[in-house]
Chain A
Amino acid sequence: MIHEQSIRKELIVPPMDRADHVPVIAPGQTFESVNEQIGSVVLRRGFQRGWLLGLAIAFSLLMLFLVAVTWLFIRGVGVWGINIPVGWGFAIINLVWWIGIGHAGTLISAILLLLRQQWRTSINRFAEAMTLFAVACAALFPILHLGRPQFFFWLIPYPNTLDYWPQFRSPLMWDFFAIATYGLVSLLFWFVGLIPDLATLRDRAKSAFSRVTFGILSMGWRGSAVHWKRYQDLYYLLAALATPLVVSVHSIVSFDFAVGIVPGWHSTIFPPYFVAGAIFAGFAMVLLIAIPLRKYYHMENFITDRHLRNMAIVMLTSGLVVAYGYIMELFMAWYSGNEYEGYMTVNRIIGPYGWVFGLMILCNVVIPQLLWFKRIRTNTLWLWGISLAVSFGMWFERFVIVITSLHRDFLPSSWAMYTPTFWDYATFIGTLGLFATLIFLFIRFLPFISIAETRELVHQTGGKVE
């Protein structure tokens, strides 16, 4: 049935445009050069000055977070700018923003694996780490936002003497399960992927401490064929399990809004539009990290221009889906003929927070269109700038959704403005510090590119990719 040979001769293969020629990894790699280049970042003694400086800045922001949270625990959520009717404020904006960022990691590691996209190999490891850290930042906010955060575990349906049971019809419950599952599966997936690399590091480590630490973490990996077989099976299984999470988690976050009947929230497009927004913001964050990272550690031969180009295209595509969501929302607000929906839209665009809406459209719709131009998407500086704009834009989007819908809903007598306080900003910037601190520790103490998968790539391509 298969005449591969005959078909091969018939098919004329024209060379493609130049960007397609940029290989997934630079030519001339061997197993040893891969081990050496990636492994040395971790096994090197001492700390580089640039890394120390970065960690110091990140860590001081983390300390700001500590102060902000301590003050919050002492005084309660009143230290924030939230009020009635705007009960959600920064906490929920930040939750949605952070959890969205995590999605790129899962998409890269799970979906692109199942789609057999080889280019994911060099970026999946740190993208997965980014997911974990973003989920950690995100999960803090709903807990901090609780009046009595010490009782957050009441969300867990466990048998208790209070005869107490959570409300399963509430999206808050769904959120809890969605985020908990997401965090758990992401952690497992990340750790399983790390095992062969941890073993490589164990074997290459010079100091006894590193050898023992990596030895324990690598769980007795010997690299036998049986190990690899089981590892592959488990890795694909986890990828298949993680795939629905890319869609489900942010859909459930969107239900937090769409299940309510507040104007501007109850829209059926919300689930796919939130998922696209999550991927959009997530890829922007991956690029924000990848571009300086590959420069600083001279990893251009592993994280090639091909990776940046492909990520730029994913970012452009998901951004267009987000724009589609905006168009649907605007059209439906008019088409509904509902005065509340109509007013909500007018208020979003030209109301007191209209400038945020304007910035959102600029950052999420206008600026990303630059990515259509090859010259811009292959220029790392431009790409980094656009990613930064998108990261801001997606934060503005959540601001628009949360604040403008709540501050003026049905009854004009209950309208109010929302003004964030110093502690709102401190908490948000503090989580940026937490995220950055974790990223800095990760890139120094664990291989941020998968050594085993890169070796596999070198093997498959015989060391001469394309």
Chain B
Amino acid sequence: MKTPQGIRRLLPVALVIGAAGLVATLAGLYLGVPGAYPAYLFAFVFWAGMGIGSLLLALLQHLTRAGWGAPIQRFIEAGARTLPLMLVLFIPIIFGMKTLYAWADPAHVIGDPILEHKQPYLNVPFFVVRTVIYFAVWIFFAYRTGALSVKLDETGDVNIAGTLRGLGAGGLLAVTLTATFAAFDWVMSLEPHWLSSIFGLMVTMGMMLGAFALAVALASWASNRPPLDAAISPKRFNDLGSLMLTFVMIWAYLAFSQFLLIWSANISEEVPWYLTRMAGNWTYVAIAVLVFHFALPFVLLVFRDVKRNRRLLIAIAVLLVLVRALDTFWLIVPALGAAGIGAIWPHLTALVGLGGLWVAFFVWNLARAPLLPVGLPAPLLDDAASSEPHHNRIVTHER
């Protein structure tokens, strides 16, 4: 039931790469390299999103106890427990507030009636306090459910499953709301005049998709060695692939809803957001997001043969993780105009540096619990039971 060697060997490598990347990134921030702060924010939002998305998936799994969740459960639980690291990595952003957020600079705010109106919400102390509150909520649910889930393995205590279910329901509410407002604060307020009420949902869904794709990639990779080889059959790949397709479609639905409504209304308060993101070379990024975030995975994941092919499924999942980074980049960096991109290297060092640390912390967390949850309460599989007569189930009751 141990974590496979291959995954554990990642820890030192990731730690070294992460530390080196972080040092380079912090140096860039300190020296005031153009684009260093937007790059840092982009990397931060992406990796924090992996944690938040994992947490939402884990809570969903505790609430529903669905059959598809077992093989990826430990990965999403470990992902959720990376959030304390992200809280620490939030600190550099506080120093870059004035560079990143126009509303944090009094020179911008005074004389602008709308920004003055937003002052009670968009101001530096409240922004920091809110972020700390968000993280407090997330870390509470991540660690509480994580600990209980391991305890459930050890004791098989029914009451724990009930508690987890309650935490799942309450946690989904609390985390969805806090993640929504985190998306407003961290990303939407980069353009303080712009607003979109679907934005929080869209970004949160993207986070869930990214975390799910990462978990599927890892679980599929580990599926041909113990202990996961017992839990993942070709049909399970099929379920995971279908679910990934569902997430891709929900994300695309939310993104398209926002686009269509803003495009058709074409009013000056809203449409500049898209104009900025489709001007110059950003057009190519926008097209790449459209193709690789929706069109290609959609077409591929429709086919059963693709979903049941382990290598292909891993490839699609990895593609989705990468394209989540691209989408986060496209959401954040154009907001800061020409200064946004600056040099390219800070974006890479930030993404790899924060990512290295994230992966190291993730693997460390992963190795602390058995990779396959053995105390998974199964009765819900009544509901999940297949209408195909001989559907493969991971867990079967024995009474």
Interface residues of A (CB under 8 A from B): 1-4, 6-8, 10-17, 20-21, 24, 113, 115-119, 169, 247, 251, 255, 258-259, 261, 266-272, 310, 320, 324, 327-329, 331-332, 335-338, 456, 460, 466
Of A20, A327, A337, A338, the most chain B CB neighbours within 10 A belong to A337
Say whether A14 contacts B377, CB under 8 Å: yes
Say whether B199 contacts A268, CB under 8 Å: yes
* Chain B minimum-CB-distance residue to A268: B198
Say whether B375 contacts A268, CB under 8 Å: no
Chain B residues with Cβ under 8 A from A20's Cβ?
379-380, 382
Which residues, 107 to 128 on B, are CB-close (under 8 Å) to A? 113-114, 117-118, 121
Say whether A258 contacts B261, CB under 8 Å: yes
- A13-B395, A14-B157, A332-B197 in contact; A113/B257 too (CB < 8 A)? no
* Chain B minimum-CB-distance residue to A11: B395
Of B233, B384, B391, B395, the most chain A CB neighbours within 10 A belong to B395
A selection of 26 A-B contacts at a CB cut-off of 8 Å is: A1-B223, A2-B229, A2-B233, A3-B229, A4-B392, A7-B231, A11-B378, A12-B375, A14-B156, A14-B157, A16-B379, A20-B379, A24-B382, A116-B391, A255-B260, A261-B267, A268-B262, A270-B257, A271-B198, A271-B261, A272-B254, A310-B383, A332-B197, A335-B118, A335-B195, A337-B114
Query: Complex: how many Å from CA A115 to CA B388?
Result: 11
Query: Complex: how many Å from CA A267 to CA B197?
Result: 6
B245 to A: closest C-beta gap in Å: 11
Partner of B374, one of A10, A255, A328: A10
Query: Complex: how many Å from CA A259 to CA B383?
Result: 40
Say whether B382 contacts A116, CB under 8 Å: no
Say whether B379 contacts A116, CB under 8 Å: no
Say whether A1 contacts B224, CB under 8 Å: yes
Query: Complex: how many Å from CA A116 to CA B387?
Result: 6
Chain B count of residues within 8 A CB distance of the other chain: 61
Say whether A116 contacts B201, CB under 8 Å: no
* Chain B minimum-CB-distance residue to A10: B374
Say whether B389 contacts A259, CB under 8 Å: no
Query: Complex: how many Å from CA A331 to CA B198?
Result: 12
Query: Complex: how many Å from CA A291 to CA B377?
Result: 30
Query: Complex: how many Å from CA A259 to CA B374?
Result: 50
- Whether a CB of chain A sits under 8 angstroms from the CB of B215 is no
Interface residues of B (CB under 8 A from A): 113-114, 117-118, 121, 156-158, 161-162, 173, 176-177, 180, 184, 195-201, 223-224, 229-231, 233, 253-254, 257-258, 260-262, 264-265, 267, 269, 374-380, 382-389, 391-392, 394-398
Say whether A266 contacts B158, CB under 8 Å: no
Say whether B375 contacts A14, CB under 8 Å: yes
Query: Complex: how many Å from CA A466 to CA B398?
Result: 10
Say whether B382 contacts A118, CB under 8 Å: yes
* Chain A minimum-CB-distance residue to B193: A337
Partner of B261, one of A6, A8, A266, A460: A266
B269 to A: closest C-beta gap in Å: 7
A457 to B: closest C-beta gap in Å: 9
B391 to A: closest C-beta gap in Å: 7
Pick the 8 closest A-B CB pairs, nearest first: A269-B197, A268-B198, A337-B117, A12-B156, A337-B114, A271-B257, A14-B158, A7-B230
Chain A residues with Cβ under 8 A from B387's Cβ?
113, 116, 118, 456, 460
Say whether B229 contacts A1, CB under 8 Å: yes
A123 to B: closest C-beta gap in Å: 14
* Chain A minimum-CB-distance residue to B223: A1
Partner of A338, one of B269, B379, B388, B398: B269
Say whether B398 contacts A8, CB under 8 Å: yes
Chain B residues with Cβ under 8 A from A261's Cβ?
265, 267
Partner of A116, one of B176, B261, B385: B385
Query: Complex: how many Å from CA A169 to CA B260?
Result: 12
Query: Complex: how many Å from CA A118 to CA B395?
Result: 17
B248 to A: closest C-beta gap in Å: 13
Query: Complex: how many Å from CA A268 to CA B195?
Result: 9
Say whether B379 contacts A268, CB under 8 Å: no
Say whether A259 contacts B378, CB under 8 Å: no
Say whether A14 contacts B161, CB under 8 Å: yes
Chain A residues with Cβ under 8 A from B162's Cβ?
16-17
Chain B residues with Cβ under 8 A from A6's Cβ?
230
Query: Complex: how many Å from CA A327 to CA B177?
Result: 10
Chain A residues with Cβ under 8 A from B201's Cβ?
269, 272, 324
Chain A residues with Cβ under 8 A from B114's Cβ?
337
Chain A residues with Cβ under 8 A from B121's Cβ?
335
Query: Complex: how many Å from CA A320 to CA B175?
Result: 13
Say whether B157 contacts A328, CB under 8 Å: no
Query: Complex: how many Å from CA A21 to CA B399?
Result: 12
Of A4, A11, A16, A270, the most chain B CB neighbours within 10 A belong to A11
Query: Complex: how many Å from CA A38 to CA B396?
Result: 31
Say whether A320 contacts B173, CB under 8 Å: yes
Say whether A13 contacts B378, CB under 8 Å: yes
Say whether B386 contacts A116, CB under 8 Å: yes
New A-B contacts (9) at CB < 8 Å, excluding given A2-B392, A267-B261, A328-B180? A1-B229, A13-B377, A16-B377, A259-B261, A268-B198, A269-B201, A270-B257, A271-B261, A338-B269
Query: Complex: how many Å from CA A24 to CA B379?
Result: 12
Query: Complex: how many Å from CA A239 to CA B73?
Result: 29
Say whether A13 contacts B230, CB under 8 Å: no
Query: Complex: how many Å from CA A459 to CA B395?
Result: 21
Say whether A247 contacts B253, CB under 8 Å: yes
Say whether A268 contacts B261, CB under 8 Å: yes
Chain B residues with Cβ under 8 A from A268's Cβ?
196-199, 257-258, 261-262
Of A4, A113, A119, the most chain B CB neighbours within 10 A belong to A4
A460 to B: closest C-beta gap in Å: 7
Chain A residues with Cβ under 8 A from B177's Cβ?
324, 327
* Chain A minimum-CB-distance residue to B165: A17
Say whether A336 contacts B195, CB under 8 Å: yes
Query: Complex: how many Å from CA A271 to CA B156?
Result: 42
Chain B residues with Cβ under 8 A from A17's Cβ?
158, 162
Query: Complex: how many Å from CA A466 to CA B379?
Result: 9
Chain A residues with Cβ under 8 A from B196's Cβ?
268
B373 to A: closest C-beta gap in Å: 9
Query: Complex: how many Å from CA A460 to CA B257?
Result: 42
Query: Complex: how many Å from CA A108 to CA B31?
Result: 59
A11 to B: closest C-beta gap in Å: 5
B341 to A: closest C-beta gap in Å: 27
Say whether B197 contacts A329, CB under 8 Å: yes
B299 to A: closest C-beta gap in Å: 15
Chain A residues with Cβ under 8 A from B269's Cβ?
336, 338
Say whether A118 contacts B383, CB under 8 Å: yes
Query: Complex: how many Å from CA A3 to CA B199?
Result: 44
Partner of A2, one of B200, B230, B380, B386: B230
- A2-B233, A13-B377, A16-B377 in contact; A117/B195 too (CB < 8 A)? no
Say whether B395 contacts A3, CB under 8 Å: no
Of B173, B197, B253, B267, the most chain A CB neighbours within 10 A belong to B197
* Chain A minimum-CB-distance residue to B176: A324
Chain A residues with Cβ under 8 A from B391's Cβ?
116
A322 to B: closest C-beta gap in Å: 13
Of B156, B195, B200, B380, the most chain A CB neighbours within 10 A belong to B195
Partner of B198, one of A15, A21, A119, A269: A269
- A1-B224, A116-B391 in contact; A328/B261 too (CB < 8 A)? no
Chain B residues with Cβ under 8 A from A259's Cβ?
261, 264-265
Say whether B158 contacts A11, CB under 8 Å: no
Chain B residues with Cβ under 8 A from A335's Cβ?
118, 121, 184, 195
Chain A residues with Cβ under 8 A from B392's Cβ?
2, 4
Query: Complex: how many Å from CA A80 to CA B200?
Result: 40
Chain B residues with Cβ under 8 A from A338's Cβ?
269
Query: Complex: how many Å from CA A118 to CA B158?
Result: 24
Query: Complex: how many Å from CA A118 to CA B378?
Result: 15
Partner of A16, one of B161, B224, B262: B161
